[in-house]
Structure 1
Amino acid sequence: MDLVGAWRLVEWRVVDAGGRVSHPFGTDATGLLCYTPDGHMSATIARAGRAPLPGAGRGQTPPEAPAEAFTSFLAYAGRYEVRQGHIAHDVEVALDPALAGTVQVRELNADGDRLVLAADEGGRWHTLIWERS
């Protein structure tokens, strides 16, 4: 399976223990997942239609605006390794400092130009579907 290249997000869905489905950044979230031949990766996901920070660049951004920008965007990068039907993302740097230094392990299913990564996180099943860009 050749993961090297760029992948665009199709869907990020979460199913809780009761079977309820949600989409953390909406059904129209955007994202880009990149794998390099030398074992590096980066992932970014954003809620669609994010508004620019008001007053950005002029020192007039209201204090609540960066919090909204933070909660509508996910980003991390590091190294990756494929391990027996799973992929491990060894996070070196992340928007959320709590992710740095962690290893994010996902079930890995690839079929041509489609990539599905899935994992149980706190009793909720996260599935991210990507298409080769």
Structure 2
Amino acid sequence: MPSLRDQLIGAWELVEYSAFPPSSPGEKIYPMGENAQGIIMYTPNGYMSAQLQIPGQSPFASGDMNGGTTEELAEAGRKYFAYTGQFWLDESGDEPILMHEMRCSSFPNWLGNVQRRIMKLSVEGGEQFLTLGPEKAVEVMGEVRMTRTTQIHVNVQS
């Protein structure tokens, strides 16, 4: 059986990003909408990249990637979240903890931090899923909530 780290390597496509009160997991909200899109990738040499977006963003009026208006740039920032850096696993506790270094982040408050996530790998219907969530509740849309992302492993065919 491959190690937990080896099972993590590859690309994972977002299935769901939700947030809920710690005492009521069934009371979900979707901070980036129910149709949020994203990919998180883990490389064999210990790097990761996470990208999330709200679909349906309008194209910039200008074809210049750096030429958006203040409003266009604000919309792009509101609808996209990304970070990247190294990753590590801590399997010493009851649940494995996946740590993401914030070398680059579209949320400047996270720059230089290490975000810790409880991780779970599961298989359903022959597909492999990765579920990630923080160890404790965080502020989401003005309320203290737990967050959870669920991703499906992307099997790349050569």
> TM-score normalised to the size of structure 2?
0.77
Query: 1:105 and 2:116 equivalent?
Result: yes
- After superposing the two structures, state which structure 1 stretch, 103-112 or 73-82, moved more: 103-112
Alignment counterpart, residue 129 of structure 2, candidates 90, 106, 114: 114
Runs of 4+ in 1 over 4 A off after TM superposition: none
CA–CA distance in structure 2, aligned partners of residues 54 and 24 of structure 1: 27
Query: Aligned AA for 1:129?
Result: T
Decide whether aligned partners of structure 1 residues 80 and 22 sit closer, same or farther in structure 2, where only a CA change above 3 A counts: same
Decide whether aligned partners of structure 1 residues 21 and 62 sit closer, same or farther in structure 2, where only a CA change above 3 A counts: same
Contact 1:25 1:48 in 2 (8 A): no
Query: Aligned AA for 1:36?
Result: T
Structure of greater Rg: 2
Query: Aligned AA for 2:77?
Result: F
Query: Aligned AA for 2:32?
Result: F
Identity among equivalent positions (%) equals 27
Deviation track 1:61-120 (CA, whole Å, cap 9, x = no partner) reads 331110111011000000101113110101101122222101111110012410000122
CA–CA distance in structure 1, aligned partners of residues 8 and 113 of structure 2: 21
CA–CA distance in structure 2, aligned partners of residues 32 and 59 of structure 1: 24
1:1-133 equivalent positions in 2, closer than 5 A: 1=4, 2-16=7-21, 19=24, 20-57=27-64, 61-84=68-91, 85-112=96-123, 113-119=128-134, 120-122=137-139, 123-133=144-154
Decide whether aligned partners of structure 1 residues 91 and 60 sit closer, same or farther in structure 2, where only a CA change above 3 A counts: closer
- After superposing the two structures, state which structure 1 stretch, 91-100 or 101-110, moved more: 91-100
Query: Aligned AA for 1:8?
Result: E
Query: Aligned AA for 1:121?
Result: V
Aligned-residue offset at 1:54: 2.5
> TM-score normalised to the size of structure 1?
0.91
Q: Matched residue of 1:126: which SS?
A: strand
Query: Aligned AA for 1:46?
Result: Q
Could you say which structure has the higher strand fraction?
Answer: 1
Contact 2:83 2:104 in 1 (8 A): yes
Question: Which blocks of at least 5 consecutive residues in structure 1 are unaligned?
Answer: none
Q: Matched residue of 2:110: which SS?
A: coil
Q: Matched residue of 2:8: which SS?
A: coil
